[in-house]
Structure 1
Amino acid sequence: MTYDLTNRTAVVTGAASGIGAEIALVLARSGARVALLSRRADRLADLADKITAEGGQALAVAADVTGDLSGAVAAIHTAYGRVDLVVNNAGVMLANPITAGRADEWQRMIDTNITGVLNVTNAFTPDLTSTAAEGGTADLVNISSIGAHLTFPNFAVYTATKAAVTHLSANLRSEFGPLNVRVTNVEPGLTESELASHVDNAEVINELTTWFEAMGRLTAAEVADVVAYTTSRARHVNLRQIMVLPTTQI
């Protein structure tokens, strides 16, 4: 489905694949200008080409959300001007027992899943607040996970980072809400994406496969549809927190 996001300017992180790519597609199909952020420039270029071939507007910006984003912000402003819709989607899911002592994985998840969200939010806060101050619609959407509320063996650090995103979103709303900037926290359940491909533990991979077979999964496009629906609501309507699950996932 498509929605009315005409004249909106969006930034989507982690746009090179999976949920991020589908969010970018549905936002563009709904009329938004979309800046695509990811480290994988080649994939971004392909996605931008696809969007423009469909008649949409897309800008590929190779950037690492864990680092300096000033160049990316400048490129977006030059191409599209002020941003009024930010989707923090970039994330990584790694899984091993704590006893494995995989500090490399812990740091990577903390850097991407938490610090990345903070960096991107900080980079575009002036855009969002000034848009809202002038009477426009401004949205910050954070993609968390149902794992923020559940416990899974071997996923302790991943779920902890997502719990941080969920709690951060609630707190950001207490600051941004009075400024008329909407904050939405989206928590998908089992979803088709590349996240599982990052896992290097065979036992955990088998466990994930079992979950998918038992409970099914959402498509990335179905999660993207939730984001587009949410951000297309009337300016005074904020869908604050959304859990989206396969019907059979409990």
Structure 2
Amino acid sequence: MSAALLTETPLSGRVAVVSGASSGIGAATATRLAELGASVALLARRKEKLDALAETITGAGGTAVALPVDVTDREDVHAAARRVEAELGTADLVFNNAGVQLISPITDLRQDDWQRQIDLNVTGVMNVIGAFVPQLTAAAEAGKPADLITTSSIAATRILEKFSVYSGTKAYISHLTRLLRVELGQKNVRVATIEPGMVDTELPDHVTDPDASTLMTDLIDRIDVLQSADVAETVAFIAAVPRHVNLTEITILPTAQAI
């Protein structure tokens, strides 16, 4: 194999798992990881979108398996982890990305929205960790690179009106990964967090508060916001650096975003 080809496929031989893979950052990242040589397991609830993405990836010469799963269901996620190992091999790259953003004033008492964010952004993240950490540690023990990369947000640290519950879930993720790094780093599993600013994805479509929705739409219209592919390239870079290098926390902002 030529040096040029190795450069073009730095993730060759890797087995990647992407949650929230049916759209946005997840779909773009799964596509990019496959382009760089990884075999990719696609996890999300929307089977039709997963199947279409898997077909696109395989049609371009990559390897992808669509695994419809609700990450808030622990047993469902563990079943998906068993399928990944059986069909692709031991996962050594997990992009823990599924999440939802529902913005509203706390005084609106939209407790169903609060719970949905906690269920997906916290419980779903923990379920993926619980299902795949054994495979990551096994990969590291075998001498392979092993990566647990989780999507947080700049909302984890910035004070944004009406983002209370969403920001709380993302702060949990950002701090959790710092703590996980203490334990898993000793086992040669790299733990990283990405904290994007404004990305042009489906997330703003989920916002039910009219004022918050208008604010986010105006920001997208006013500045050159991030695209999903920008975040995907960052995830790929984190995974492709030498095994002894851990890029721990990366904030990704549109150049023109001031908050």
Q: TM-score range by the shorter chain?
A: over 0.9
Q: 1:215 to 1:3 in 2, by over 3 A?
A: farther
Count of residue pairs brought into register by the alignment = 250
Q: Which residue of the other structure, out of 92, 101, 108, is the alignment partner of 1:93?
A: 101
Question: Does structure 1 residue 7 correspond to structure 2 residue 13?
Answer: yes
The 8 Å contact of residues 95 and 204 in structure 1, kept in 2 or not, is answered as yes
Q: Give the Cα separation in 2 of the matches to 1:78 and 1:15.
A: 20
Question: Does structure 1 residue 156 correspond to structure 2 residue 164?
Answer: yes
State the one-letter code of the partner of 2:83: A
Aligned-pair distance for 1:204? 1.2
Q: The residue matched to 2:98 in structure 1 has which SS? A: coil
Q: How does 1:201-220 map to 2 (within 5 A)?
A: 201-220=209-228
Aligned-pair distance for 1:215? 3.4
Question: Does structure 1 residue 174 correspond to structure 2 residue 192?
Answer: no
Q: Which residue of the other structure, out of 80, 87, 91, is the alignment partner of 1:83?
A: 91
More deviation in 123-132 or 72-81? 72-81
The 8 Å contact of residues 200 and 220 in structure 2, kept in 1 or not, is answered as no
Q: Give the Cα separation in 2 of the matches to 1:61 and 1:102.
A: 31
Question: Does structure 1 residue 136 correspond to structure 2 residue 110?
Answer: no
The 8 Å contact of residues 38 and 64 in structure 1, kept in 2 or not, is answered as yes
Q: Give the Cα separation in 2 of the matches to 1:202 and 1:226.
A: 32
In structure 2, what is the equivalent of residue 27 of structure 1?
33
Q: 1:2 to 1:185 in 2, by over 3 A?
A: farther
Aligned-pair distance for 1:184? 0.7
Q: Give the Cα separation in 2 of the matches to 1:216 and 1:184.
A: 26
Aligned-pair distance for 1:23? 0.4
Q: Which residue of the other structure, out of 54, 57, 60, is the alignment partner of 2:63?
A: 57
State the one-letter code of the partner of 2:118: I
The 8 Å contact of residues 152 and 174 in structure 2, kept in 1 or not, is answered as yes
The 8 Å contact of residues 17 and 42 in structure 2, kept in 1 or not, is answered as yes
Q: How does 1:214-229 map to 2 (within 5 A)?
A: 214-229=222-237
Q: Give the Cα separation in 2 of the matches to 1:244 and 1:97.
A: 26
Aligned-pair distance for 1:132? 0.8
Q: Give the Cα separation in 2 of the matches to 1:64 and 1:237.
A: 32
Identity between Structure 1 and Structure 2 (%): 46
Aligned-pair distance for 1:85? 0.4
In structure 2, what is the equivalent of residue 18 of structure 1?
24
What TM-score comes out, normalization by structure 2 length? 0.94
Structure 2 stretches lacking a partner, 5+ long: 1-6
Q: The residue matched to 2:225 in structure 1 has which SS? A: coil
Q: Give the Cα separation in 2 of the matches to 1:131 and 1:235.
A: 12
In structure 1, what is the equivalent of residue 3 of structure 2?
none
